[in-house]
Amino acid sequence: MIRVENLSVRLPGFALDGVSFRVAPGEFFTILGPTGAGKTLILESIAGMVPIDGGRIRIDGRDVTELPPERRGIGIVYQDHALFPHLSVSRNIRYGLRYRAKAAEGDDRLQHLVERLGLKPLLNRGVSHLSGGERQRVALARALVVAPKILLLDEPLSALDPNFREEIRDLLKSLHRETGITVLMVTHDFAEAHFLAARTAVIIAGRIEQVGSVAEVFNRPVSPAVAAFVGMKNIFEARFEGDTARTGPLTMALARSVPPGSRFVAVRPEDVQLDADAPGAANNHFAGQVTRLDHQGVFCEVRVSCEGMVWQTIVPTGRLMQQGLSEGDTVRLHVPPGKIHVM
């Protein structure tokens, strides 16, 4: 279990401020945030590698705030793997074994991990010519062989080629299931968090914006910054009257009345429907012009300007071609009331 209370770290030009969250025993927890939000700094604070300016860190109930890194029982795997370049694969993996009392257990674990991660053929090689996926597996074995209480993963998938990324992602998931170890991973990729973790904390510019289940953060972001981060690309400031929202020139019907203090509406692009030939002026249908088409392979991002408000939506490329849609065309947008998120 990890408990971070009111952590603050001040660096020149950047600060972590009042960061608090809790990771349950055996949980796979992610810290999600854009590059430069302070994610790695949180990991390194937990691991004891940076001096902190305030707050407490507890691991399995024990206050480790004042302990040096080697006495915290933490494994860490970095994005760039951080393998020791002067040591062979085998020596890299064995590096921490001498500091753990029970040698026999360590050897058993080593055997198991080498087998499990398919490292046997690599053991006597140097680390400089390994592929990204191989390096990451070595780094994982090296961290896990000393049986840490918690495993910290710093963007473990970001530096990998797409084919290795999937391999390591699946591996992380199954390793977590098999070992039951508490994992704290930081990433900027929501899809990774979605695949691996049950709960997540979203950090933006050194502050935790939201903590909750991945589904909760995905569906009910608490702020425009989080909404933008989880892919709600249509975010507008709004005034609310009963169960309608007025944003600029548009009035939208909502599915339910809004909690007091709400200031924004947000809609995912995939929830905005493009009905070129929809009938009538039913609720939440807006006429607009296509201003931009961005082809993304199977899908196409379409921007539609409705009385000066630009909406983003996603259309399957096939349908787009069928309809022969192009920039400048007049279309009708439909924003289903049930899909409008209010915050």
Partner 1 sequence: MRRLDPFHAVAAACTLLVVAFIVVPLVEMIRQPTAADLKASILDADVRRAIWLSISTSGSAALISFIFGTPFAYLLARRDFPGKRLVESIVDLPIMIPHPVIGIAILSLAGRQHWIGRLAADLGVRVMGSVTGIVIVLTFVGLPFYINTVKNGIEAIPQRLENVSRSLGATAFGTFWRVTFPLAWRSVVVGMILCTARAVSEFGAVVIVAYHPMIAPVMIYERFTAYGLRYSQPVAVWLIGVCLVLFFLLRWLNPPAGRTRA
Contact residues: partner 1, CB under 8 A: 44, 47-49, 68-70, 72, 74-76, 78, 80, 82, 84-86, 95-96, 98-100, 126, 128-129, 142-143, 146, 148
| Cα-based distances in Å from 243 to 237, 253, 341 | 15, 6, 12
Which residue's CB is nearer to partner 1, number 96 or number 132?
96
Which residue's CB is nearer to partner 1, number 148 or number 288?
148
Q: CA–CA separation, 308 vs 79, rounded Å?
A: 42
In whole angstroms, the minimum distance from the beta carbon of 193 to partner 1 comes to: 23
Q: CA–CA separation, 137 vs 170, rounded Å?
A: 12
Which residue's CB is nearer to partner 1, number 52 or number 245?
52
In whole angstroms, the minimum distance from the beta carbon of 298 to partner 1 comes to: 38
In whole angstroms, the minimum distance from the beta carbon of 154 to partner 1 comes to: 9
**DSSP-based three-state secondary structure for 150:** strand
In whole angstroms, the minimum distance from the beta carbon of 146 to partner 1 comes to: 6
Instruction: Put residue 342 in one of left, alpha, beta given phi > 0 → left and psi -120 to 50 → alpha.
Output: beta
139 DSSP assignment: H
Sign for the pseudo-dihedral over CA of 75, 78, 81, 82 = negative
In whole angstroms, the minimum distance from the beta carbon of 186 to partner 1 comes to: 14
Which residue's CB is nearer to partner 1, number 151 or number 265?
151
- Kind and range of the H or E element at 292? strand 285-296
Cβ–Cβ < 8 Å for 10, 181: no
Which residue's CB is nearer to partner 1, number 43 or number 342?
43
Sign for the pseudo-dihedral over CA of 155, 157, 159, 162 = negative
Which residue's CB is nearer to partner 1, number 129 or number 296?
129
Q: CA–CA separation, 9 vs 90, rounded Å?
A: 36
Which residue's CB is nearer to partner 1, number 1 or number 310?
1
In whole angstroms, the minimum distance from the beta carbon of 4 to partner 1 comes to: 17
Nearest to 214 by CA among 7, 27, 10: 27
Q: What is the CA radius of gyration of the chain?
A: 24
In whole angstroms, the minimum distance from the beta carbon of 59 to partner 1 comes to: 12
Which residue's CB is nearer to partner 1, number 9 or number 266?
9
**DSSP-based three-state secondary structure for 126:** strand
Tokens of 20: 């608090």
In whole angstroms, the minimum distance from the beta carbon of 70 to partner 1 comes to: 5
Provide the b/e sequence for 203-239 (b: ≥16 CB within 10 Å): bbebbbbbbbebeebbebbebbbbbbbbebbbbbebe
80 DSSP assignment: T
Which residue's CB is nearer to partner 1, number 184 or number 232?
184
In whole angstroms, the minimum distance from the beta carbon of 315 to partner 1 comes to: 44
